[in-house]
Structure 1
Amino acid sequence: MDTKCSVFIAASVDGFIARPDGNIEWLHRPEYECPVLRGLTYDEFMTTVDALVMGRKTLDKVLSFPEWPYENTRVVVLSRGEVVLPPELRDHVDVLAGDPLLIVAQLAAQGLKHLYIDGGQTIQAFLAAGLINEITITRIPVLLGKGIPLFSQLGGELNLSLIDSSASDNGFVQSRYQVLAQACSVDKTGSDCRALEI
């Protein structure tokens, strides 16, 4: 499949992307303000993206923001249930249901070449399906202790290759990885171990 799937996300040093209640205000502390952030910036990354794919919970969080942040980007929400969108977003947000392979195939058939995968459960599902090509993680200098994890049980090992790593003066450390292979997936009938070039 020619369509690239990328993750671009911030996480605490202990691996959480939000507090247990979904709160992400800890990402915006005054002491984190920095005139120059080294590495791949969000704006640079978004210029390469054809669509953003997120889950229902991530959509709910984004809808709580004062303004819709994806004005110039197509958004695809994954949900098997009904999603009620504000009238002004109905022409900008698509709702799809299906497993990650089907979703990517549908979007690839529409000519989309680069998908931004966001939201903890969605990222984990796409990783488990062997669809993520690149992961950019910015580690925030805080230990939350508990919260919503970036990674959970994937069912197998993932081999990564470091593309780049950079540290900013505010303590942010960004690492970019290429996903090389998924080693094993396990189900009730046994294990299926194979290398995937993704």
Structure 2
Amino acid sequence: MRKLIYGMNLTLDGYIAAAGDDIGWSGPPSHELFQWWLDHERASGLSLYGRKLWEEMSSYWPTGDQQPDATPAEIEFARNWRDTPKVVFSSTIDKVDWNTRLVTGDAIAEITRLKAGDGGPMTIGGATLAGAAMRAGLIDEYVIATHPVLVGGGTPFFTALDGWVNLNLVETRTFPGGVVLTRYETRR
């Protein structure tokens, strides 16, 4: 069975985006944090995206390695992003590119099917998609890069749940700029 990992950058008050889908609060990540995310993405065998995150990622990373000021890590991230198989869950878009498959039907049924298969860990991103996977009990690990900023509202990282989810802390790490990364595994 494949592991499903939900990880994103978020504010200290728990938002992945401020009001109006504003992600400017995070600023550019430190080289160390960016490298950590690159290594995390390299370990993934499949990336699952909701529509909004897909649109954000696909607006930059297909050519991110061709930007004149791209760092070696950004070049590698762009290449890895293009090469990694991806699934986008959306009923409002009709075309995806860059080693990506579109699913317009039941996301939970498809994620359950993918988890039951062979392969490396899967990452999931996008609050709505990940929230549905959380409520269905499908998330095996949470990766939280908490930035020292409060935005007061927006898109929360966590969704309302029907019951408690007990977790085990497996890693903590501090990055420049006061970013604290924590990883938790779901206790089954």
Pick the TM interval, shorter chain: 0.7 to 0.9
Q: Is the 8 A contact 1:97 1:103 kept in 2?
A: no
Q: Which structure ranks higher in relative contact order (CA pairs < 8 Å, sequence separation ≥ 6)? A: 2
RMSD: 2.3
Q: How does 1:1-198 map to 2 (within 5 A)?
A: 2-29=1-28, 33=30, 35-37=31-33, 41-65=36-60, 67=63, 69=78, 70-85=81-96, 89=97, 92-108=99-115, 111-180=118-187, 197=188
- Pick the structure with greater CA Rg: 1
SS in 2 for 1:26: helix
Cα shift at 1:139: 0.3
Q: Secondary structure at the match of 1:158?
A: coil
CA-to-aligned-CA distance 1:59-92 (integer Å, 9 cap, x gap)? 222233363641121110012344233xxx2x61
1:7 shift after superposition: 1.3
Shift in alpha-carbon separation, 1:109–1:4, aligned structure 2, 3 A: closer
TM-score (norm 1): 0.77
Secondary structure in structure 1 of the residue aligned to 2:20: coil
Unaligned runs of 5+ in 2: 65-77
Structure with higher helix content = 2
SS, match of residue 151 in structure 1: coil
Q: When you count strand as a share of all residues, which structure comes out higher?
A: 1
8 Å contact 1:52–1:116 — kept in the other structure? yes
2:93 and 2:174 map into 1 onto residues whose CA distance is: 42
Between the aligned partners of 2:175 and 2:52, the Cα distance in structure 1 is: 30
Per-residue deviation, 1:108: 4.5
Residue in 2 that maps onto 1:185: none
The unaligned stretches of length 5 or more in structure 1 are: 181-196
> Is residue 51–residue 90 contact of structure 2 (8 Å, CA) maintained in 1?
yes
**Which amino acid in the other structure matches residue 123 of structure 2?**
Y
The sequence identity of aligned pairs, in percent, is 26
Contact conserved, 2:8 with 2:145, CA < 8 A, in 1?
A: yes
Structure 1 residue ranges (4+ consecutive) displaced by more than 4 angstroms after TM superposition? none
Q: Which stretch shifts more, 127-136 or 54-63?
A: 54-63
| Further displaced range: 101-110 or 163-172 | 101-110
Give the Cα separation in 2 of the matches to 1:92 and 1:37.
26
SS at match of 1:143: coil
What is the distance in 1 between the residues matched to 2:59 and 2:111?
Answer: 27
Q: Normalising to structure 2: TM-score of the pair? A: 0.81
Secondary structure of the 1:10 match is strand
Provide the C-alpha distance between the structure 1 equivalents of 2:84 and 2:49, rounded to a whole number of angstroms.
Answer: 13
Give the distance between the partners of 1:55 and 1:116, measured in 2 at CA.
12
Q: How many residue pairs are counted as aligned between the two chains? A: 172
Assess if the C-alpha contact under 8 Å between 1:3 and 1:104 holds in 2. no
